[in-house]
Structure 1
Amino acid sequence: MGNINNSGPFSYKEIEPLTDKANGPLLVRKNDTKEFFVKKCYPLYLADNLTTLQQIKQTNLPKVQEVLIEGDQLYLYEEFIHGKTLTEVISSSEVIETETILKMTLSLLDALIALHDKGLVHRDVKPGNIMLTNDGMLKLIDFDAVRVFDGAKDTDTIQLGTVGFASPEQFGFAESDARSDLYSVGVVINICSVKEYPKNKLSSDPFLREIILKATRFDPKDRYQSAVEMKTVVREKWKQWVNETHHNEDRLVLDNRENKNEKTDMDEPNNVKTPIRSFLRKYVPGFRTDQPWKMTLAIIYYVLMLMGLPGMVYEATSMTEKLLRTIEGFTIFVLPVLLLTNFMNFHEKIPLLHSKKLILRGLGYGLLAVGWLIFFVLYLLVTNGGAKR
């Protein structure tokens, strides 16, 4: 039955139930590391599948910490994900942009590629089982219906799945396989686009419609034959969207110039990503999340910095001193912001800064602060030493 740990239930402290369901998921904390996990109960026949799942390390799947047998019950301990389900996002959004849908689909397919490579079929891909974390990561969760593709059966032994999202074969027409999950992905895309099942209202979005149609064909032979194949098509559609959007932006800029003989930031519609807005969102801390309170704080900080830094430089009497004042101002005002606000997403390249453990992440930020302080002290020692000479 795989490598099941039978001796670990007392290493976790139960905090609170996460739903009102009997025997539903529980929030727990590991006693030694103080990390939070979700404890879920599964039927014993899923033991082999869950131990296989534990071996998969993929960013769009929750990390499985342990699979334990407690009495006659099977429990899975997986990472606790901070965020919202896609269901919540859809219900709270009037429109989800095409680009966002395509990017989410690519992440969802990456999760399925990892599962399918191990022979696992999720069988319950739906918005309620897709989490969007607070830092923008997509996670495919809940493995109550997971199974291994057999290939020698006419139908699934246990028919599971959510009506509307589950493929026809999950209700007795054939044995479900990887293409069954892709059917569900097609339905999810349509729900994100028009908030309806494809059979009720098919999305008219030119970048999504063909993907949805092919993914949700009744006969699995007419669908995408693998998540890799579907991902290739989705990525191509995303590239087409980017190219066409940029072309339209250029045309809008030209139209504005022709109509007003000049171009200002106020001429651009709010829903058009101008080059200036794109630059701010990509490179300028405080503007990359589009959150008003962060942008307000950033504007105040930058105004104060621009008021103080030029004054420091202006007071210097020689070019050498002006250069040193500029470096000093950059070190004091700019460098800490770049280090602590994940400039150009460099935190993802440093293990401590993207660790799931708060202690390690705090240590990472502490080392950054110490590194900045050491650099600043060395700079002062060097410049003061030079000045004395």
Structure 2
Amino acid sequence: MAHPRDSLPAGTIIDCYCIIKTIGSGGFSLIYLAEDEDTRERVVIKEYLPRKTAARKNGTRVKVIGGEKQWNDFQHGRKLFYREAKTLATMQHPNVVRVRNFFLANDTAYLVMDYEPGKNLGSYIKQRGGGLSTRFIMTVFPPILDALSLIHSRNQLHLDIKPGNIHLRPGGNPLLLDFGAVRHYAKGPGTKTSQVVTAGFSPLEQHRGSGHIGPWSDVYAIGATMRACIEGKPPPSAVKRHAREVMPAAASRFKRRYPPSLLEAVDWAMEMDPRLRPQNAGDLLKALTGQCSRPPAPDPRPGKGPG
């Protein structure tokens, strides 16, 4: 299985980059700090190395572990990883991580990004214990929503927004990271497909797998991430909320500490019914910045919608 011990050792050269050290690992990839040998600039390299189906064998090459199913899974995952790289390379936005290069080597795929000093929002929330200021929230989330609006305008969905995937540069300027779950969607009816799920941040339609996903799905995750900034912990999972409402409205629970426009935007974004949420990042951005208010709930009646 892929493990930090499968990391490329310091000093390894891949393409024109020299590995300095491993700085992260996940279920599908290893993350390295490296140096561009031509420019001497530091970069971050993401290597596709899925924990369940591959490991490093005989030096630097990656080998699939298992039979035909594992081989097919690895090939499919590598294709999606490469698609992530191509997608990111087209996203020119100051709050989306910049892709410098992507290539195939060692029987796997690599994505090269700018190195950005700072820390992720998840670590910052844990360090501060929640209760982050209105000023902080309004520094971080409008730029992230603007970046997400660009992503949605390209008919793409992020589908893994959470505190750990928002990077805070020195000074608090945010950066949206990790597009490993990115999906293309067709405007109109939502897409039915299996998804990456993070309890507390993924909406019910992602948990179900067969649910209709769309920009409204990313909107829920943004609302949940803002609530985590306020409360200091992940919200209850959408599955638990669906079974039994266990989460009081932010507008009532935190009204002594935060402005109504912020709390109402959080509650609107986290509606369980996708049809009742802001339908895209732009709508949520307008609500968060006081440019529009939440519309009244429609009368319940049969009908098709994104949910």
Q: Same fold (TM over 0.5)?
A: yes
Shift in Å at residue 220 of structure 1? 1.5
Residue 168 of structure 1 corresponds to which residue in structure 2?
204
Write out aligned runs for 1:209-220 (5 A): 209-220=263-274
> What 5-or-longer segments of structure 1 have no aligned partner?
1-7, 239-389
Coordinate RMSD, CA, aligned: 2.4
Residue 34 of structure 2 corresponds to which residue in structure 1?
28
Residue 200 of structure 1 corresponds to which residue in structure 2?
247
Shift in Å at residue 160 of structure 1? 0.8
Q: Secondary structure at the match of 1:24?
A: strand
Matched, 1:85 2:120: yes
Q: Which amino acid aligns with 2:215?
A: A
Structure 1 runs, 4 residues or longer, greater than 3 Å off: 20-23, 150-158, 198-202
Judge which range, 206-215 or 57-66, deviates more.
Answer: 206-215
Residue 73 of structure 2 corresponds to which residue in structure 1?
none
CA contact (8 A) 1:64 1:77 kept: yes
Matched, 1:159 2:198: no
Shift in Å at residue 9 of structure 1? 3.7
Distance in 1 between residues matched to 2:288 and 2:192, nearest whole Å = 29
CA contact (8 A) 1:12 1:31 kept: yes
Residue 349 of structure 1 corresponds to which residue in structure 2?
none
Residue 314 of structure 1 corresponds to which residue in structure 2?
none
Shift in Å at residue 20 of structure 1? 5.4
CA contact (8 A) 2:191 2:214 kept: no
Structure whose alpha-carbon radius of gyration is higher? 1
Residue 43 of structure 2 corresponds to which residue in structure 1?
37
Shift in Å at residue 134 of structure 1? 1.2
Greater share of strand residues, 1 or 2? 2
Aligned counterpart for 1:141 among listed residues 168, 177, 182: 177
Write out aligned runs for 1:1-389 (5 A): 9-19=14-24, 23-42=29-48, 43-46=77-80, 47-94=82-129, 95-150=131-186, 156-171=192-207, 172-196=209-233, 197=235, 199-203=246-250, 204-205=254-255, 206-236=260-290
Q: Which amino acid aligns with 1:16?
A: K
Residue 370 of structure 1 corresponds to which residue in structure 2?
none
Shift in Å at residue 237 of structure 1? 7.2
Distance in 2 between residues matched to 1:156 and 1:192, nearest whole Å = 30
Q: Secondary structure at the match of 1:38?
A: strand
CA contact (8 A) 2:92 2:98 kept: yes
CA contact (8 A) 1:122 1:146 kept: yes
Q: Which amino acid aligns with 1:226?
A: N
CA contact (8 A) 2:19 2:32 kept: yes
Residue 270 of structure 1 corresponds to which residue in structure 2?
none
Deviations 1:257-302 (A, max 9, x none): xxxxxxxxxxxxxxxxxxxxxxxxxxxxxxxxxxxxxxxxxxxxxx
Deviations 1:331-367 (A, max 9, x none): xxxxxxxxxxxxxxxxxxxxxxxxxxxxxxxxxxxxx
Distance in 2 between residues matched to 1:124 and 1:82, nearest whole Å = 22
CA contact (8 A) 1:41 1:76 kept: yes
Distance in 2 between residues matched to 1:102 and 1:20, nearest whole Å = 30
TM-score, length-scaled by structure 1: 0.55
Aligned residues: percent identity?
A: 29
Distance in 1 between residues matched to 2:135 and 2:218, nearest whole Å = 22
Q: Secondary structure at the match of 1:56?
A: coil
CA contact (8 A) 2:140 2:172 kept: no
> What 5-or-longer segments of structure 2 have no aligned partner?
1-12, 49-76, 237-245, 293-307
CA contact (8 A) 1:109 1:231 kept: yes
CA contact (8 A) 1:156 1:170 kept: no
Distance in 2 between residues matched to 1:49 and 1:87, nearest whole Å = 23
Shift in Å at residue 38 of structure 1? 1.1
Shift in Å at residue 125 of structure 1? 0.5
Distance in 2 between residues matched to 1:192 and 1:121, nearest whole Å = 23
Change beyond 3 A, Cα 1:33–1:135 = farther
**What is the number of equivalent residue pairs in this alignment?**
231
CA contact (8 A) 2:139 2:173 kept: no
TM-score, length-scaled by structure 2: 0.69
Shift in Å at residue 202 of structure 1? 3.8
Shift in Å at residue 111 of structure 1? 1.6
Distance in 2 between residues matched to 1:237 and 1:154, nearest whole Å = 27
